[in-house]
Amino acid sequence: MKKLLHSLCMGLLLAMVLFTSLSVAPAYATSLYEVPPVSEETRVIDLGDIISRFNEGKLTETLSDLADKTGQEVHFVTIRRLDYEETIETFTNKLFQQWFPTSEAGAMQTIVVLDSLTNNSAIVTGEQVKALMSDEIAKSVAQETMQVPLQKGNRYNQAFLDVSDRLVAVLSGEPDPGPPVIVDKVDTEGTFATPEETAQSNAVPWVIGLLIAATVIPMVTYYWYVR
């Protein structure tokens, strides 16, 4: 009986260890060479699997329309996790070089990359893009426009839609709409009642009544029980 109980306990323990190890196993890092080659069909590469199919199609249509009208090529890439000692900036720069090995090839190209594990994002632009979008605006796109929706509950679809809208405006020669406006709602109105409100309230008589009941009822109950 003891051997059977010991075997059952060991089996249960092993099952729990196995389940725990499987449930907390980290996602594999996305290798640079897992990213497909660039083409007109690769406006959005969602290796992190965080963008809905509907919004992926919407983004692809918007960015393709931008390319047709202006020649400016924008690509969105999401990854699962970075390799050890890799940063989102180094990954994005390496991907830009992998896709566009010459300055001529990358002159009118923009890449935006997001790591879905850390929500870190980066952007790299070609030389002819900088004439329309400065490095300061590009940094704001990656660090503000992308990040604000993510800080409100990992709203990935909204983040990429906002980035797309801002990039389309800037790269079309329109004024920069700027990053999202963050409104800090501070309630300065007190939650305590004024003396006038207290005077008009029926709370005081109720409190007194409850205190009396809490004192009298146990005494009456005890007296009745004793008799």
pLDDT digits (tens, 9 = 90+) for 76-127: 999 999 988 899 999 999 999 999 999 999 999 999 999 999 999 999 999 9
In a domain, 52, yes or no: yes
In a domain, 208, yes or no: no
Q: In which band, very low, low, confident or very high, does the pLDDT at 41 lie, cut at 50, 70 and 90?
A: confident
Look up residue 139 and give its two tokens.
Answer: 């940094």
- The domain tally of the chain equals 1
One-letter amino acid of 22: L
In a domain, 190, yes or no: no
Q: What is the mean pLDDT of residues 61-72?
A: 97
In a domain, 221, yes or no: no
DSSP 145: I
Look up residue 132 and give its two tokens.
Answer: 């329309």
Q: What is the mean pLDDT of residues 44-52?
A: 96
Rounded to whole angstroms, how far apart are CA atoms 173 and 132? 7
Pair type for strands 109-115 and 121-125: antiparallel
Look up residue 225 and give its two tokens.
Answer: 């029980």
Identify the CATH number of the domain in which residue 52 sits. 3.10.310.50
Q: In which band, very low, low, confident or very high, does the pLDDT at 188 lie, cut at 50, 70 and 90?
A: very low
In a domain, 214, yes or no: no
Q: What is the pTM of this model?
A: 0.70
Element holding 200 (H helix, E strand): helix 195-200
Q: The domain containing residue 164 runs over which residues?
A: 32-171
In a domain, 107, yes or no: yes
Does 59 have pLDDT greater than 50? Answer: yes
